[in-house]
Amino acid sequence: MYFRRFAATIRHLVALMLITIAGLAHADSQVNAPEFTLTTLDETRQISLSEYRGKVIYLDFWASWCGPCRKSLPLLNELRNELKDRGFEVLALNVDETREEGLRFLAEYPVDYPTLFDDQATAATYQLRGMPTAYLIDHEGKLHSQHVGFNPKDMTSIRSEVLSLLKAAEADQ
């Protein structure tokens, strides 16, 4: 188990270098968020990112062993419940080795938003730089920003970014 986490850390470091290089090359261009279809953590349904086109999405990669996730998931749940009627959604992608690890975590830290199980393929596509890592996606499906790590103080800036994107989405309607 530790070897797998170490290997995942090495993959994340390599991805960090690649995303940094890619970010420098494309600093002025907005790119579409990579599409995915994943099964919910409880295996009740499949969800595709494209189903949420038109909404502002906070795409949150998390794991049961991630200390900051114990704080981020409940705070994101509050923000999501406050702004869901305005077109905001959180999609949480669990990157644990097994579904059971994620389900045990959610039993202790329940959320109202969709939680999906990632077999590491989506995490690799998004080139995670740390845990947790989240991407804010605008209503047109474009990557707006990336948030690596989490501190409860971050919620002020995250909320501000979400509100700005919701305002832009409302103006486009």
CATH number at residue 84: 3.40.30.10
The predicted-structure confidence for 12-44, as pLDDT tens digits, reads as follows 433 333 343 344 334 445 899 999 999 999 999
Question: pTM of the entire structure?
Answer: 0.81
Residue 4 belongs to what H/E stretch? helix 2-25
3-state secondary structure of 35: coil
Q: What is the pLDDT of residue 30?
A: 80
**Structural domain count, the chain:** 1
Q: Where in the sequence is the domain holding 150, given as residue range(s)?
A: 2-172
Cα–Cα dist 89/91, whole Å? 6
